[in-house]
Copies of this chain bind each other. A is one copy, B any other.
Amino acid sequence: MNQLSTKEKIIAQSLLMFNQKGVENITTRHIAKELGISQGNLHYHYPNKNEILELLFSNMIEAFKKAESLKSRALSPENIFYSMRSNFKIMHDYRVFFQQNTVIWRRLPALKTKLQALLNQKKEEIILLVNAYKREGKFRTDISDTQIEFLADQFIFTIATWLCAKDYSLEDHSIDYYSKFLFRIWMPYLQQNEMEKWEGYLKLA
């Protein structure tokens, strides 16, 4: 971290501290002190706290864009799981935006819209995945279409909120735990042989 510019150091340290102690508790003074620079210096690089948050947010969006997309790959459990897990990893890196969503959105309402757009985009991806599974006859036939469409809602619900849930659990659950949690959701929708395939994969992963 020492070869970073001051501007970069500030961003990195801010994310660290926001994640750990919350936006409302971390001030520009705290960040500056932790880095051993003056508050005036910090304000030279970022005129205010909101601007730090905005930059962090767009860094997160960038990270999502760079991450592996499902679209270009075969729909094996490995690929699907890996793709979701990499999304969870990014979310965890920027967890302040998901654990303190209401706080952030009140400060910066524009970020709410952007995050909703991101989730909508993820939902589209998931719907494509569900449709592909449906086309290939991998879902049980005795489940109604509305129920299968609901599966996408459940996925998005879980993706949006797992970092909140994490704080409720008594044990310290990891990214892996919630990645698997996500796919346990859709197990009962699958045909017997597909279910076993996934069960086998999740045990190993």
Instruction: Determine, out of A50-58, A85-93, A179-187, the stretch whose residues face the partner at the interface.
Output: A179-187
Q: Name the B residues within 8 Å of A150 (CB-CB).
A: 184
Please report the C-alpha to C-alpha distance between residue A201 and residue B43 in the assembled complex, in whole angstroms.
59
Contact partners of A192 in chain B: CB under 8 A: 142
Q: Please, which residue of chain B has its CB at the minimum distance from the CB of A185?
A: B154
A199 within 8 Å of B by Cβ?
yes
Among residues of B, the one whose C-beta sits closest to the C-beta of A151 is: B188
Interface residues in A68-122 by Cβ distance below 8 A to B read 99-103, 105-106, 112, 115-116, 119-120
Chain B residues whose C-beta falls within 8 Å of the C-beta of A185 in the assembled complex: 154, 185
Bound form: Cα–Cα A120–B172 in Å: 15
Say whether B189 contacts A119, CB under 8 Å: no
Which of A7-15, A34-42, A126-134, A162-170 contacts the other chain?
Answer: A162-170
Contact A153/B181 with A100-B103, A188-B189, A189-B188 known, Cβ cut-off 8 Å: yes
Please state the number of chain copies in the assembly: 2
The answer to whether A157 touches B147, judged by C-beta atoms less than 8 angstroms apart, is: no
Contact A144 B199 (CB under 8 A): yes
Per-position contact with B for A177-205: 1 when CB-CB < 8 Å, else 0? 00001001101110010000001000000
Task: List chain B residues, Cβ under 8 A from A189.
Answer: 188
- A116→B164 contact, CB < 8 A: no
A25 at the interface (CB under 8 A from B): yes
Nearest CB on B from A112, distance (A): 8
Question: Separation in Å of the A28 CB from the closest CB of chain B?
Answer: 16
Shortest distance in angstroms between A161's beta carbon and chain B's nearest beta carbon? Answer: 4
The reply to whether the CB of A27 lies closer than 8 angstroms to some CB of chain B is no
Give bound CA distance, A12 to B116, whole Å. 32
Given contacts A101-B168, A144-B199, 6 further A-B pairs with CB under 8 A are A25-B106, A99-B102, A105-B167, A150-B184, A161-B162, A161-B165
User: What are some 8 contacts across the A-B interface (CB < 8 A)?
Assistant: A25-B106, A101-B168, A102-B167, A144-B199, A147-B187, A154-B185, A157-B158, A161-B164
